[in-house]
Structure 1
Amino acid sequence: MDATPARSYMWRMELEPVFNAAADTLRAIPRSELLIAAVVAMVLGWIGAMIAKRSALGGVLRLASSAALGLILLTVVLQLSRFDPRFDVAVPQIGLPEQVVEGGETRIPLSADGHFWVRADVNGVPGNFMIDTGATLTAISAPLAERAGLEPRRGGIPIMLGTANGTVQAHVATIDSLTFGNVSASGTDAAIAENFGDFNVIGMNVLARLGSWRVEDNTLILVPRAEDTIS
């Protein structure tokens, strides 16, 4: 009896979990144009290093690779800086407009579920939002993003969001106009996740650009900066 088919079957049984794990890992890697560009730049650098001693083209490829990786790193740093309210990064040429929050004082009562909810307009399209002081970034559900015409930023960095259903991958878009109560925000970054459900959050990238916010008698009070007050 030929044992080859049996051995082949056993090898497949042993390797299948490895292949499945590798596939799951690849699917979990955030996809972006920046990631693809970085991989291409590194491959060009490796090719340049291998042929540098035999051809001047190798030196050119290595130089081009280093320059491309430097530009990619700068773009990543600029995008990450926008998630920190202490930085006002505005580079409209690469889709990073200034994030501005202005308006008048807004009071939001505590809901029965223990959260603060507002009805907000995203590019003129209404949606219910929970105000979450523990969220770094404003988050928009995929259905609302579609209705509001939001598209993920080209060349943007995919991010991972922690939700009640686990960690999901999200892409960052720019909201031209976000209004709620007497507050108006423009150029706001927001995460869009397919698996986020019909759930929307106003995070600290909006709140921290106000003058202050506080809770008094189960009411959240949002106060703009004096110079940003709309009369």
Structure 2
Amino acid sequence: MDSWNFGNLTYLVLLGAVLVFWLFVQNRAGLGKKLQHLAGWGLIFIGVIAAVGLWDDIRREVMPGRAAAVSSGRIEVPRASDGHYYLTMLVNDAPVDFMIDTGASGVVLRAQDARHAGIDTAGLAYSGRANTANGTVRTAPVKIDRISLGPVEDRNLRGWVNEGEMDKSLLGMSYLERWGKIEISGGDLVLQR
């Protein structure tokens, strides 16, 4: 806390103390009732302060983040409250939620997302292995015919279907390196062609 904020806080505490003192002096007869009212207003005040202080977090949870700003050749992805970047993209015309992961070498689909995108997961050969934070999992190579976000579309992308449990599919480097420029600007992830 810098000196300016400390000075403002001191002023507000002194002002509050003067108001409380005046309230007690003016209303000595009905002190019990006034204490109940004061406690109620105090709780309302604390609730308002908490809401103001946590507004960004509340806004992100209630209104699940603003969508990625997409224009021709440029995508701006806002940072989520957990610090990650998420996109919903069309994979073979089916919406799939992705977490952008620069640590993943390719596009890794959850089995349910792959089925939703029209990929037959029962006929896949899970011959590959991937090392994850949760250990080693089996993967199957697949060809993604089309992946798109707004006007930006890529075709014939190699990907993998993960046999293990994942919260979201991963949008890794085999997709990200198709972009000419990747940067973090103002908390947003910006992809440009």
TM interval, shorter chain, is 0.5 to 0.7
Q: Normalized per residue, which structure has more helix?
A: 1
Letter in 2 for 1:162: N
Matched, 1:180 2:171: no
Shift of 1:157: 8.2
After TM superposition, the score normalised by the length of structure 2 is 0.57
The residue aligned with 2:166 is: 197
Shift of 1:181: 4.6
The residue aligned with 1:141 is: 110
Shift of 1:182: 4.3
Structure index of larger Rg: 2
5+ unaligned residues in a row in structure 1: which ranges?
1-102, 225-231
The residue aligned with 2:87 is: 118
The residue aligned with 2:182 is: 213
Residues 28-56 of structure 1: CA distance to partner in whole angstroms, max 9, x if unpaired?
xxxxxxxxxxxxxxxxxxxxxxxxxxxxx
Match runs of 1:87-106 below 5 Å? 104-106=73-75
Task: Tell me, in whole angstroms, the C-alpha distance in 2 between the residues paired with 1:170 and 1:196.
Answer: 12
Task: Tell me, in whole angstroms, the C-alpha distance in 2 between the residues paired with 1:157 and 1:141.
Answer: 13
Distance 1:137 1:107, change over 3 A: same
Task: Tell me, in whole angstroms, the C-alpha distance in 2 between the residues paired with 1:143 and 1:156.
Answer: 16
The residue aligned with 2:100 is: 131
**RMSD of equivalent CA atoms:** 2.1
Q: Normalized per residue, which structure has more strand?
A: 2
Match runs of 1:40-51 below 5 Å? none
Shift of 1:185: 1.5
Matched, 1:107 2:48: no
Runs (4+) off by over 3 Å: 154-157
After TM superposition, the score normalised by the length of structure 1 is 0.48
Letter in 2 for 1:141: R
Of 193-202 and 137-146, more deviation after overlay is shown by: 193-202
Task: Tell me, in whole angstroms, the C-alpha distance in 2 between the residues paired with 1:122 and 1:190.
Answer: 11
